[in-house]
Chains A and B, each alone.
Chain A
Amino acid sequence: MANFFLDNKDLHYHLEHPLMRKIVELKERNFAEKDSYDYAPQNFEDAMDSYRRIMSLVGEVCGEVIAPNAEGVDSEGPRVVNDRVEYASGTVENLKAVKAAGLNGLTLPRRFGGLNFPLTCFVMANEMVARADTGFENIWGLQDCAETLNEFASEEQKQRYLPLVSEGATCAMDLTEPDAGSDLGAAMMKATWSEEKQTWLLNGVKRFITNGDCEISLVLARTEEGTVDARGLSMFVYDRRSGGMKVRRIEHKLGIKGSPTCELVFTDAPAELVGDRRMGLIKYVMSLMNAARLGIGAQSVGLCEAAYREALKYAHERRQFGKDIIQFPAISEMLSNMRARLRGARALLYETSRFVEIYKQYAHISRERSLEGEERQQMKYYNRLADAFTPLVKLLASEFANMLAFDSIQIHGGSGYMKDYACERLYRDARVLNIYEGTSQMQVVAAINGVTKGAYMEQISLYEAMSYSENMLPVVEKLKALRARVEAMVERVETINKEYPQYKDFHARRLVESVGYIIITYLLAQQATQVEEYESDTKLFLKLTEAYIASAEAYVNTSEGEDVALISEVQEQY
């Protein structure tokens, strides 16, 4: 029996993290529901026991149903029939299995039929589903839209919509339009209030909508006539049963073929306003996007896991020159680095999940009662960390996923280029990870202020101050020196940027990634302090960090302000 949780010790490590005690306390509000719901935990140990069991259930569904279906789903794909999406047959089976297993509404409150699980568990489940089938992770993972409703919708709306999600209704975020991609503020989908029908009506086109023909959609639309920017946009919840929406076409994509990417036409489609007008993009979609970015982080780590395992297996089976190819350092070096990146990305993923979780739980509590001084500070503290770490994990995990998918094919050699092995599908699936939910370039934009305004460095200082095992002390010493070099780079960039305003943008990615590499190495060093098994990964990742920073430093230190002209030359061409 394949089980994607039981076969992965690294997941167990992250599930058992010490901060889980605080997270469970916040999430369960002192176990207030232990007698009112027959499936609510009685205490911390009981909650953890349930998490382990349910993660194992997810692992089993992934290993036994979703993963075996992945190849068929990739070749069959969904289709449009009479303006509706029909999923590939394997996708239908997957949905049936996750529904029977009750894996919907994982994080939603029990009063809406949810399991009230921590975000950490949801992220972990996401990761396992993505390892099984990256495209299916979208369809299943979009249940996270319900969290946005749980945060911002009215009580009455929550009571109507959230139980549907807990029962297995799938969701979508209808944001992108033909002329509004990264620049969502330009969205033109129109929402008009109909006095006659006493409802908002949606009119317009949405494009590139993942799982667009789902039961419940969150739609970004313009309520304020005459506006052209983000301030005129509001968020709506649309129930497909209301009618007025057609799927015009689905895209033919390079990868994640099982996940239908839809062009939707709304014609007088009735929808309900969520929260306040004009806050659609500024507040709600920003929150939604942050959650989605963490989701892509999880999806990326899941893909890393799959790519690494496929390559490792092949390297142990393939014989050349009389031995398994894993015996050649050229191959084992690649695999070792893959494993270090996989575990590094995962370390960053769960650290971020914990920050987001704690912040979100305080935010929820603040709607039930006013927070006390200490709690308010904690919320602020974790909010800042969540905002800083979310783009970082989206950026690095998705880039690593591409590197691992690339190397996985390389290790398979010629066979990897053929359709015979899963690595070619992973390679195609990986390519979108650093594009959707904000390209890597957009993540850098979101993260650069954290570099220059101190959010990351403050956290790095906390990591520095932690206690480490003796074997990890040399790693920490090196990290301290690397940090100083990155700070010098940042200072140089800030100084030159005063005179040459594009200079910081020119080097932003180098700075953000340098900081990201240092953070990951610290996280791995903490793991290695507790579990010796992580020592090799930590030492290897440190080398990757040193190499990355040396290269970034060489580039930055040899770049003068005038070099901005070098990168603007192409702007004039074509």
Chain B
Amino acid sequence: MNKALKIVVLAKQVPDTRNMGEEAMTADGTVNRAALPAIFNPDDLKALELALRMKDECVGSTVHILTMGPLRAADIIRDAMFRGADGGYLLTDRRFAGSDTLATSYALSCALRKIGADVVVAGRQAIDGDTAQVGPQVAGWLGLPQVTYAEQVEQIKESSLVVRRRVERGVERVESPLPMLLTVNSSADEVRPQNAMRLMKFKYAATPSECAAEPEALRVKLAAEREYLNIVEWTADDVDCDKSILGLAGSPTKVKSVEAVVFQDKQVQSLTSSDEDIEKLMVELIASRTLG
């Protein structure tokens, strides 16, 4: 019998940049968030699945989502609940606006200190920024051991996890003491679908702000009767943090410029899988210092 784990999944709501249409970029080259649907960051869904597998294995475990973002980010907490998560925390405050990865990881780590977790699981990276920095930085702020590029938790021991991680030429099997943080690689298993019964049970889950926006809605009445429908909503004041390093003020990253790179025809090459073609490509890549 495995011990019950308190698992927190770090997740982000992102613009769906996977199928970019023409309207997806603004004239100045930044992402036009209004034109793109907001989705659950794909790697974070894999993180959720990995967390839910641990929950399946260790009876009594809980999985909660922690996300920082605008009010509508509660959507991904509900989505996670439909798939098996027990609930979630929405960290939302204008003072968090403009956060780079350092400020984001700081805010998340402050919230995590308050929640307390045996395992923190995050997707490797978000599709809007592609930095892959937030997970490792959270581990840094909290002084937790971290395993990156995780694909699977192979063994859950009394005070450690054995994790399979994807590395360049294969896989590594590592063991780390609990509590710990994992970032999950996109090669991990697909997330399970939403579950019909859970969907109906949790569809009215809401944050206090959502309830306040529609005081007459059925969800307000149900949330008052049913504890599990309440999504926790925290501002900077609800977590113990140094306000001077939140948001823009705590973000050393400065975006100098954003450039939309459009490939010209002449940059496109068609290659066959023949040895000569591959050889030719290797030579070119080495010459241009892309490789080696």
Q: Which residues of A contact B (CB under 8 A)?
A: 38-43, 46, 49-50, 53-54, 57, 60-61, 65, 97, 100-103, 115
Q: Can you name 6 extra interface pairs (CB under 8 A) apart from A39-B201, A115-B196?
A: A39-B197, A53-B199, A57-B194, A61-B193, A100-B192, A102-B195
A102 to B200, CA, bound (A): 11
- Minimum CB distance partner of B83 in chain A: A100
Q: Known A38-B201, A38-B226; judge A46-B218 contact (CB<8 A).
A: yes
B193 touches A101 (CB 8 A): yes
The answer, yes or no, to whether B198 is at the interface (CB within 8 Å) is yes
Q: Cβ of B197 and Cβ of A60 under 8 Å apart?
A: no
Residues of B contacting A49 with CB < 8 Å? 203
10 intermolecular pairs with C-beta atoms under 8 Å apart: A42-B218, A43-B218, A46-B218, A49-B203, A50-B203, A54-B200, A102-B196, A102-B197, A102-B198, A115-B196
Complex formed: what's the CA distance from A54 to B198 in Å?
Answer: 11
A115 touches B197 (CB 8 A): yes
Find out whether the CB atom of A53 lies under 8 angstroms from the CB atom of B203: yes
Q: How large is the interface on B (under 10, 10 to 19, 20 to 34, 35 or more residues)?
A: 10 to 19
Name which residue of chain B comes closest to A64, CB basis. B193
Give min CB distance, A366 to chain B, whole Å.
Answer: 28
A103: contacting residue among B196, B218, B226, CB under 8 A = B196
Residue of B nearest to A110 (CB): B197
- Please provide the chain B residues from 226 to 267 with a CB less than 8 Å away from any CB of chain A in the complex: 226
Q: Known interface pairs A38-B201, A39-B201, A49-B203. Does A57 touch B218 (Cβ–Cβ under 8 Å)?
A: no
Q: Nearest Cβ distance between residue B230 and chain A, in whole angstroms?
A: 14
Sorted from nearest, which 5 A-B pairs have the closest CB atoms? A39-B200, A102-B196, A101-B193, A102-B195, A100-B192
State how many angstroms separate the Cβ of A129 from the closest Cβ of chain B: 14
Given contacts A38-B226, A42-B218, contact A101 B201 (CB under 8 A): no
B174-218 interface code vs A (CB 8 A; 1 in, 0 out): 000000000000000000111111111101000000000000001
Of chain A, the residue at the smallest CB distance from B194 is A57
Residues in chain B near residue A65, CB distance under 8 A: 193
Among candidates B196, B218, B222, B226, residue contacting A101 with C-beta atoms closer than 8 Å: B196
Cβ contacts under 8 Å, A57 to chain B: 193-194, 196, 199
Q: Do B201 and A97 have beta carbons less than 8 Å apart? A: no
What is the chain A residue whose CB lies nearest that of B19? A1
Q: Does A101 lie within 8 Å of B195, measured CB to CB?
A: yes
**What is the total of A-B residue contacts with beta carbons within 8 Å?**
46
Q: Is the CB of B203 within 8 A of A54?
A: no
CB-defined contacts of B194 to chain A, threshold 8 Å: 57, 60, 101
Across-interface contacts of B200 in A (CB, < 8 A): 39-41, 50, 53-54, 115
Shortest CB distance B199–A (Å): 6
Roughly how many angstroms separate A43 CA and B222 CA in the complex, as a whole number?
A: 13
Determine the chain B residues whose CB is within 8 A of the CB of A102 once the complex forms: 195-198
A97: chain B residues within 8 A (beta carbon) = 193
* A421–B226 CA distance with the chains assembled, in angstroms: 51
- Which residue in chain B gives the minimum CB-CB distance to A40? B200
Task: Report the nearest B residue to A57, measured CB to CB.
Answer: B194
Complex: how many Å from CA A39 to CA B199? 8
In the docked arrangement, what's the CA distance between A102 and B218, Å? 25
Q: A40 — which chain B residues lie within 8 A by C-beta?
A: 200
- Per the bound structure, the CA–CA distance linking A416 and B91 in Å amounts to 54
CB distance from B2 to the nearest CB of A (A): 21
Rounded to whole angstroms, the CA-CA distance of A102 and B192 in the bound complex is 11
Determine the distance from Cα of A115 to Cα of B193 in the docked complex, in whole angstroms: 17
Residue among B200, B218, B222 with max Cβ neighbours from chain A (10 Å)? B200
Question: Looking at the complex, which one of B193, B201, B222 makes contact with A60 (CB distance below 8 Å)?
Answer: B193
Which has the most chain A C-beta neighbours within 10 Å: B193, B194, B199, B201? B193
Cβ contacts under 8 Å, B195 to chain A = 100-102
Give Cα distance in the complex from A279 to B195, angstroms: 38
- Cβ contact of A54, chosen from B192, B196, B201, cutoff 8 A: B196
CA distance in complex: A199, B217 (Å): 55
Q: Which residues from A are CB-within-8-Å of B193?
A: 57, 60-61, 65, 97, 100-101
- In the docked arrangement, what's the CA distance between A60 and B197, Å? 16
Residues of chain A lying within 8 A (CB to CB) of residue B192: 100
**A57 CB to nearest B CB, Å:** 5
Residues of A within 8 A of B218 (CB): 42-43, 46
Identify the closest chain A residue to B225 (Cβ): A35
- Which residues of the partner chain A approach B226 to less than 8 Å between Cβ atoms? 38
**In whole angstroms, what is the CA distance A115 to B199 when docked?**
11
Nearest-CB residue, chain A, relative to B39:
A1
Tell me, in angstroms, the Cα distance from A115 to B200 when the chains sit together: 10
Q: Considering the chains assembled together, what is the distance between the CA atoms of A49 and B199 in angstroms?
A: 11
CB-CB under 8 A from A103, the residues of chain B are 196
Q: In the docked arrangement, what's the CA distance between A46 and B200, Å? A: 9
Q: In whole Å, how far is B149's beta carbon from the nearest beta carbon of chain A? A: 25
Give A97 to B192 CA distance when docked, in angstroms: 7
In the bound complex, what is the Cα–Cα distance between A38 and B200 (angstroms)? 8
What's the Cα separation between A102 and B199 when bound, in Å?
Answer: 10
Chain A residue at minimal CB-CB distance from B16: A1
| Alpha-carbon distance between A439 and B236 when the two chains are bound, in angstroms | 69
**Whole-angstrom CA separation of A41 from B199 in the bound complex:** 12
The CA-CA distance from A40 to B222 in the complex, in Å, is: 12
Residues of B within 8 A of A41 (CB): 200
Bound complex: CA A46 to CA B203 (Å): 10
Residues of B within 8 A of A38 (CB): 201, 226
Distance, CA A49 to CA B217, complexed state (A): 14
Q: How many Å lie between the Cα of A100 and that of B226 in the bound state?
A: 25
Chain B residues contacting A39 (CB-CB under 8 Å) are 197-198, 200-201
In the bound complex, residues from chain B placing their C-beta under 8 Å from that of A115 are: 196-197, 200
Minimum Cβ distance to chain A for residue B75 (Å):
13
Residues of B within 8 A of A46 (CB): 218
Using CB atoms, name the residue of chain A closest to B84.
A100
Give CA–CA (A41, B200) in the complex, Å: 8
- Residues in B with CB closer than 8 Å to A60 are 193-194
Find the residue from A38, A41, A43 having the highest chain B CB count within 10 A: A38
- Chain B hits for A43, CB < 8 A: 218
- Chain B, 132-155, CB within 8 A of any chain A CB: none
Which B residues touch A101, using CB under 8 A?
Answer: 193-196
The docked-state distance in angstroms from the alpha carbon of A53 to that of B197 is 11
Q: How far is the CA of A50 from the CA of B218 in the complex (A)?
A: 14
| Nearest CB of chain B from residue A154's CB, rounded to whole Å | 26
In the complex, which residues of chain A have a beta carbon less than 8 angstroms from the beta carbon of B198? 39, 102
Tell me the nearest residue of chain A to B82, going by C-beta.
A57
The smallest C-beta distance from B140 to any residue of chain A, in angstroms, reads: 35
Q: How far is the CA of A571 from the CA of B198 in the complex (A)?
A: 60
Smallest CB separation, B226 vs chain A (Å) = 7
Shortest Cβ distance from residue A526 to the other chain B in the assembled complex, whole angstroms = 31
A102–B197 CA distance with the chains assembled, in angstroms: 7
Chain B residues within 8 Å of A42, by CB:
218, 222
